[in-house]
A and B are shown apart, each in its own frame.
Chain A
Amino acid sequence: MPVMIMQHGIYPRPRGLARAISRFSSGKMSQEDLERVYERYTERFFKLLKGLGYDRFSDGMFRWDDIFNPLISGIGGVVVDGLRRFYDNNYFFRQPIVRGRISYDEPKISRMLVKSLSIARNLGIEPNRVSLSLAGPYTMATNALIETSDYNLESFMRDYAEKVIYSEIEGSLKEGVVNIDLHEPSIAVMGNAKLNTVREIYEEIARNFPKARIWAIMYFGYNREGVRMFREASTRLGNIGYVVDMVEAPESAWNELGELLGSGGIGIAIINSRTTKMERYRDIAPKLFKVLGRYESDLYLTHNASLEFLPEKIAVRKLRLLRRFAIKINRKVQKS
C-alpha cells in the first residue's frame, strides 16, 4: 500500500487575513467583508493541498486563535482567561478556567467547518478528506485550570469528551467528515500517570462512533508508553489512528516503531514544524524503509506540530517537500 500524506492542525494565518481580522476588531471592516476574506484564504489553502495531492487535511483552522479558542468560548462552565505559554514555545493561548459542571449546547466547531466544506466541495474535495480538529481530552484537561470541586482531572476529561467531543463528532459525521483529529501534545510530553484513563476515553469514543476515525495527534515529544497504548487501542478498534512525532523522538525510537504500529491508521511525523531548516531525504528515507515493510494498513507521512509555528512561506515549502518525499518513497517501494 503506498504511503499517503497528511496535513493537520492550524495552518499559518496569512498576513492579509491577520490584517483583515484586526481591521474587523477595530470596527473598520464589516462581518460580511471579513467572511469573504476567510473564504478567500480557505479556498487558497484547499487549492494548495489538493494541488499537492494531500490525502487528508484540516480546513486550515483560520478562525482559530490557538487549539483551544474559539472552542472553549462555547463551553458552559468554562471561562476564557489570560494568556498562558503553550508548552515550551514562545506562543501563548487564552487559558480555559473550569468554574463548574460543563455544558455544550451546539457543536460550534463542526458548524464552523460547514462553511469550509462548501468551499471544499466546490473545488471537488470530498468531506472525507477534510478533518475536524479539536483539543484532545488530556491536552484540554492539562491546560485548563480546574477551579471547581465538581471535577478532578480524570472526570473532567471524561465529561469534556462526552459533552463536547461527542457532540462535535455527531455534527461532523452528518456533514460527511469522518476524520476527527484530537490534538494531544500532553500525551507526548507529560508523564504516564493518567494514560489508562486516556485510553479508556479514546476507546469509548471510537466504539460510540464506528463510522468516524479518531486520531490522536501527539507532538512536542515522543512518549513510548503513549504510542504503545494507541497501538493497542488501534489494534483492538480499527478506527483509532495516531500520529507519532519522530522528529522529537530519540534515534532508538525508529527501531521500536516497527513494533508500535497498530492496525488502524498511523501518521509518522518526519517534518519539523518548529524549524525553518529543510529536512533531507537521505537522512529520513533509510529510517523509514526499515518501518514501511512491516505495515499493512493506512500509513501517512506528516509534520509534527501544527504548521503555524512556521512562516507561511516555509510551511508551503515543507508541504511540498513532504510530498516529494512520499513520491520518491512510493516509487522505490514499487520497484522493489
Chain B
Amino acid sequence: MGTGSWAMFGSLNINIQEINTYIIFKISFVMWITRRWGDTRELGVELPILPTTVIGSYPRPRWLRHMIRLWSMGRVDDKALDEAFRDSVRVVVREQEEAGIDIPSDGEMWRDEMVEYFAERIDGFRFYGPVRVWGNNYFNKPAVVSKLSYREPIVVKEYMFLRSVSNRAVVKVTITGPYTIADWSFNEYYGSKEELTFELAKIINREIIELEKAGALFVQVDEPALTTHPEEMDWAVDAINQVTKGVGIKLGLHVCYSDYNLLSRYFDKLSFSQFALEFANRGYRDLGVLSKLGDREIGLGVVDVHNRSIEDPQHVSKAIEKAMTYVEPEKIYVNPDCGLKLLPREIARKKLEVMVSGTKIVRKELLSKGIERTILRG
C-alpha cells in the first residue's frame, strides 16, 4: 500500500478528471482500510496466530488471602496490604507468562467480587450487607441510593501496574458492564432498571476512555447477566454499546453461562470486536453460533473453570479446529471459559499450560500453511 501505487500512478498518462477520481477513490479506500483495520494501524501490534489469553480472575495466592485476613483484623496496615497486592500481581502475571499466555491480566487480585468492587468506587451506591448467591455463598449486593457519579478512575491504577510488570506487548483489563452491575444491584433511586443501566454505561464509558488515555490496548467488558432477562435485551444491548462511544482501542465482551442463541442474534448490533464465550463447560454445543460472528472475533473458551480435572492438549486443539470450521484462524483468540479464581492455583496454572500446548499444536498446522501472525484489531 502507499508509495508504490502512487509511483505507478505517476507513470500513467491520464487527465485531471481521472486524477481527481483516483485521488478520491484512493482516499476513501484508505479511510475504509483505516476504519476496518484502524486500530491495527494505531496500535501497531502483531500477535502470534491464535493469541492465548485469560478471561480475568486468577486464584489469589494463599499468602495474599492470609494478609487480607490479617488486615481485616487490624493486624497489618494498608501499606503492607498494598505491597502484598502488588507482589501478588507480579507473581500471577509471571505465572501466566511462564504458562505461555500472550495476553495476561492482573488476575483481578484487588477485587473481591466483580460488581461489589465497582459499586464501592462509584458514588451513589451503598451496602446493607450480604445476600445469598447459592448454598452458603454470599455477596455484598450494592444498592443504588442516589444519583450515580464517577468519582475517580476505578481500574486505571491497576492497569498501570499490570503494564509495568508484564513483558507482553498487550495486556487485558476487565471491567464489569453496566447491565450486570444494574442487574446485581438493588435500585432505590432510578425510575427504572433501564435508566440505571444507561447511567452506569456513561460511567463505564468514561473509565474506558481513561484507560485508553493511560495506554491500555485491550479492555474486556464482562456481562454475565446479559441474557438473563430476554425481554430486556434490546435496550440492554443499546446501553452496553454506550460504553464503547469514542473509544479507539480493542474492546471485547465476555458473556458466560448464558443463552448464546439469544446472544448471537445481537452479534452485529454489539459494537465489540470480540466476544469471549464459554464453550468447554457446555461440551462445545452451540459452536454453531460462531457462524453469525460476521467480522468479529471469538475468544474461545477451551478449559472448564468449574471442573478440577485438567483437559489434555488434544482436547484444546480439537476445540480450536472445530471453531476454525466457522471462523478464520486470524479471528480466534484462545482463553479459558471464565475467570479462574475458583480453582486451586496449581490447577489454574496447569489448565493454562494445557491451553497453550493445545494452541501450539494448531499453530504448527497453520504455520505449514504460512499463517503465523494476527493483528490486534479494534
Contact = CB atoms under 8 A, between A and B. Distances in A.
Interface of A: 12-13, 15, 18, 21-22, 25, 65-66, 69, 83, 85, 88, 90-94, 275-277, 308-314
A21 B135 CA distance: 10
A249 B129 CA distance: 28
B131 A18 contact: no
Interface stretch (B17-25, B39-47, B179-187, B211-219): B179-187
Given A18-B138, A311-B128, A90 B133 contact: yes
A90 B184 contact: yes
Nearest to A83: B134
Interface of B: 128-136, 138, 141, 143, 183-184, 186-188, 225, 228-229
6 contacts: A83-B134, A91-B132, A276-B128, A277-B187, A308-B131, A310-B128
A311 B134 contact: no
Contacts of A312: 129
A311 B131 contact: yes
A66 B134 contact: yes
A11 to B, nearest CB: 11
Given A15-B129, A18-B138, A313-B128, 17 more contacts: A12-B129, A21-B136, A25-B136, A66-B134, A69-B135, A90-B225, A91-B132, A92-B133, A276-B143, A276-B188, A309-B131, A311-B129, A311-B130, A311-B131, A312-B129, A313-B129, A314-B128
A22 B136 contact: yes
A85 B227 CA distance: 12
A85 B186 contact: no
B307 to A, nearest CB: 10
User: Which of B131, B133, B188 has most A Cβ within 10 Å?
Assistant: B131
Nearest to B138: A18
A12 B128 contact: no
Contacts of B128: 276, 310-311, 313-314
Nearest to B180: A90
Contacts of B225: 90
A12 B183 CA distance: 20
A88 to B, nearest CB: 6
A45 to B, nearest CB: 16
A12 B136 CA distance: 11
B228 A88 contact: yes
A60 to B, nearest CB: 13
Given A18-B136, A66-B134, A275 B188 contact: yes
Contacts of A69: 135
A283 to B, nearest CB: 15
Contacts of B129: 12, 15, 311-314
Contacts of A21: 136
Contact of B135 (A85, A94, A309, A311): A94
Contacts of A65: 134-136
Contact of A308 (B132, B136, B184, B186): B132
B229 A88 contact: yes
Contacts of B228: 85, 88, 90
A12 B134 contact: no
Given A277-B187, A313-B129, A93 B136 contact: no
Nearest to B228: A88
Contacts of A94: 134-135
Contacts of B141: 311
A-B CB proximity, top 9 nearest: A311-B129, A92-B134, A311-B128, A276-B186, A277-B188, A276-B143, A65-B135, A21-B136, A313-B128
Given A311-B128, A314-B128, A277 B186 contact: yes
B183 to A, nearest CB: 7
B352 to A, nearest CB: 24
A93 B130 contact: no
Contact of A90 (B130, B135, B143, B183): B183
Contacts of A91: 132-134
A82 to B, nearest CB: 8
Contacts of A276: 128, 143, 186, 188
A308 B143 CA distance: 15
Given A88-B228, A88-B229, A12 B187 contact: no
Contacts of A310: 128, 131
B117 to A, nearest CB: 16
Contacts of B132: 12-13, 91, 308
A16 to B, nearest CB: 12
User: Which of A25, A90, A94 has most B Cβ within 10 Å?
Assistant: A90
A204 B228 CA distance: 36
Contact of B186 (A12, A88, A275): A275
A22 to B, nearest CB: 6
Contacts of A13: 132, 136, 138
Nearest to A274: B186
Nearest to A85: B228
Contacts of B183: 90
Nearest to B188: A277
A150 B135 CA distance: 30
A311 B228 CA distance: 22
A12 B131 contact: yes
Contacts of A93: 134
Contacts of B184: 90
A311 B141 CA distance: 8
Nearest to A87: B228
User: Which of A69, A93, A310 has most B Cβ within 10 Å?
Assistant: A310
